[in-house]
Amino acid sequence: MPTTKLNITFLPPSRIAWEPEDISLFRDIMLTNPEFRDQVALHFPEADEIDSAIVDADVLVCGYVQDEELRRAVNLKWIAFWSAGLDGKLKPEMLQRGLTFTSASGVHGPNIADHVLMLMLMFTRRMEYFFRAQQQVSWARTPKNPEPGELAGKTLGIVGYGRIGEPLCQRAQACGMRVIATKRDPQQTYGTVKPDRLLPSDELYTLLAESDHLCIAVPYTPATHHIIDQPALNVMKPGSYLYNVARGKVVDEAAMVRALQSGQLAGAGLDVFETEPLSPDSVLWQMENVLITPHVSGMTPQYFARFAPILAENIGRWLRNEQLVNQFDPARGY
């Protein structure tokens, strides 16, 4: 056990100030744990206290770290990011220092699954058509190609069966859908929800050929850059739907636009894009078979309530010198 307290500094969002309820949430879950008694010190600095607090920090809990903050953090050992994805977060200086990094993977699962289900239902029941009709004050009851349908009996393919894929699978199966998924390590699961078929990542094209609806939920790494490219889109069922809640660069956007224009894809529900914010000049804004949300599928009022237990678990593991949950693996890239 450490002879001095582990100094944990929580950097406020936007570097302004923490909300009192968020401070209480973290304090309650940490300071009521007898394992942490006399072992940890929690710091929630105000904006004018951040510089001095960082100097003494063993652990930074944050959404990002600025260059000057990193230089001041001379005692830093571990950065606990509250974001689920670490792409773009880890700078060369951080890696060179041999720091430990963890993510908040898992906090987004239920709400992103809800978001994808919403998009699937909107296309299936042709809400994109009826919403335009409402805007035009038009009693248009007969959309064609396709008509309003049902999810039951359709196949959902999930690329990346992790903490988003599992709750999405649960929701899709409740709607009567068949679910197939790919996973880097099919032996690793986080819950008890099982797809109807689980494939290794190298069988992506098998999944694509069977899917009526396709959800992309993989981390962004060099290995997943443009995994949905023109050849992959060509394998998909004509008239299928694509949903991307991962990272924009996982999909070749230009190839996707061509597939939407040709009808190979009947529609796309997109929360992420290769360049964000999406340019006003992007053709995607004007496409009637595209539903756009501005990278908001991860938003939820339960964010820190789900993150706090993950952080508490990891603090306990750190004190016991055990492997951390969601620890960054350079070999995997996430």
Vertex 291, ends 287 and 292: CA angle to 5°? 100
Determine the Cα angle at 18 with ends 17 and 19, to 5°. 120
Distance CA 267, CA 208 (A): 15
Q: What is the mean pLDDT of the chain?
A: 95
Catalytic residue selected from 295, 306, 313, 317: 295
The predicted-structure confidence for 28-51, as pLDDT tens digits, reads as follows 999 889 989 889 999 999 999 999
pLDDT confidence of residue 186:
85
Residue closest to 165 by CA, chosen among 145, 141, 147, 184: 184
Query: What percent helix, strand, coil does the chain show, rounded to 5?
Result: 40, 15, 45
Q: What is the pLDDT of residues 167-180, one digit of tens each?
A: 999 999 999 999 99
* pTM, full prediction: 0.94
Burial label, 36 (beta-carbon count in 10 A; 0-12, 13-18, 19+): buried
Ranges of H-type helices in the chain: 20-31, 50-55, 67-72, 92-96, 109-124, 127-135, 165-174, 204-210, 230-235, 253-262, 303-319
Domains of the chain and any CATH numbers: 6-107+301-319 (3.40.50.720), 109-292 (3.40.50.720)
pLDDT at 1: 41
Write down the pLDDT at residue 240: 98
Closest CA to 33 of 322, 303, 320: 320
Residues 6+ apart with CB under 8 A from 209: 235, 236, 237
Query: Is pLDDT of 2 > 80?
Result: no
Res. 260: pLDDT tops 70: yes
Q: How confident is the model at residue 333 (pLDDT cuts 50, 70, 90)?
A: confident
Query: Which residue is catalytic, options 49, 68, 276, 288?
Result: 276
What torsion do the CA atoms of 189, 216, 331, 61 make, to the nearest 10 degrees?
Answer: -80
The residues pairing with 214 across neighbouring beta strands, listed in sequence order, are: 157, 242
- Over residues 142-196, the pLDDT tens digits come to 898 899 999 999 999 999 999 999 999 999 999 999 999 999 988 877 788 999 9
The backbone torsions φ and ψ at residue 243, rounded to the nearest 5 degrees and listed phi first, read -130, 125
Tell me, yes or no, if 295 is annotated catalytic: yes
Task: Give the angle subtended at the CA of 125 by the CAs of 123 and 129, to the nearest 5°.
Answer: 70
Does residue 233 contact residue 227 with C-beta atoms inside 8 Å?
no
**269, 217 contact by CB (below 8 A):** no
Distance between CA atoms of 90 and 70, rounded to whole angstroms? Answer: 11
Q: Is 247 a catalytic residue?
A: yes
Q: Is 72 part of the annotated catalytic residue set?
A: no
67: left (phi over 0), alpha (psi -120 to 50) or beta: alpha
